[in-house]
Amino acid sequence: MTRIDDTFARLQSEGRRAFVAYVMAGDPDFETSKEIVRGLPGAGVDIIELGLPFTDPMADGATIQLAGQRALKGGQTLDRTLEIARHLRETDTTTPIVMMGYYNPIHSRGVETFLEQAKAAGIDGLIVVDLPPEEDEELCIPAQKAGLNFIRLATPTTDDARLPRVLQNTSGFVYYVSITGITGAAEAQAEAVAPEVARIKAETDLPVIVGFGVKTPETAKNIAAIADGTVVGSAIVNEIAQGKPVEEVLAFVKTLADGAHSA
């Protein structure tokens, strides 16, 4: 059992949906990023997605691309991203942290070394968007052997023939991408997402969390109501991009969390 498994078991026993928040590590700067991440659990976040900045983020829209550029310009590295996780673990040993990003920085570090360092820093799971199931031996299976969940994305184009392959080695939860395209591109619609969530849940006992296109407390509530929870990323990153104080960013996050938890 990982922290992710424990969190979903607790939420299920409480009859609540999960709220997952994405932030880019090192945005707008290293120290502020540490402060934001440390404040997320108190703002109602059940699982933290910590973005690992990368120079070519092909799945991300402009908001998160720019966040990654700000972070990299400020000197954010893989080591500094792990340091943000360690900083949270000084005060919080229960909130799961999922590192989300691309394979290149992990490959450059070396899979075995990276997994040892990630586990030691308190990372609980990985979402690596450019490693398909055909590459499971590369990172997915080693990660799970090391005790980290490997979370896979399913999308509107993941048909019935492809879905079992996507689910085969997934653990922790399934991340359903509610729209076709990049992050922040459109608003998720619960009536369109519901049949897809049901289709996935018919094939797995894992929780299904819906992300991409969730920008408001109302949408968070509507999407969480038809899934096991929801993810908000670009809307939070946009608050950070506007230079708002940490307390204002966290207050905004709380409105989203309250929306998801009211489902």
* Cα distances (angstroms) measured from residue 174 to each of 151, 160, 177: 6, 15, 10
User: Are 164 and 174 contacting, i.e. CB atoms less than 8 angstroms apart?
Assistant: no
Q: Which of 46, 60, 228, 239 is catalytic?
A: 60
Count of beta carbons in the 10 Å neighbourhood of residue 88: 21
The helix/strand/coil state of 114 is helix
Bridge partners (DSSP) of residue 162 are: none
Q: Which of 46, 49, 228, 239 is catalytic?
A: 49
User: Are 177 and 209 contacting, i.e. CB atoms less than 8 angstroms apart?
Assistant: no
Note if 196 is an active site residue: no
Note if 49 is an active site residue: yes
Q: What are phi and psi of 154, to 5 degrees?
A: -115, 150
Kindly write down the DSSP assignment for every residue of 187-198, as one continuous string. ---HHHHHHHHH
DSSP at 250: H
Q: What are phi and psi of 21, to 5 degrees?
A: -115, 135
- By annotation, the residues acting in catalysis are 49, 60
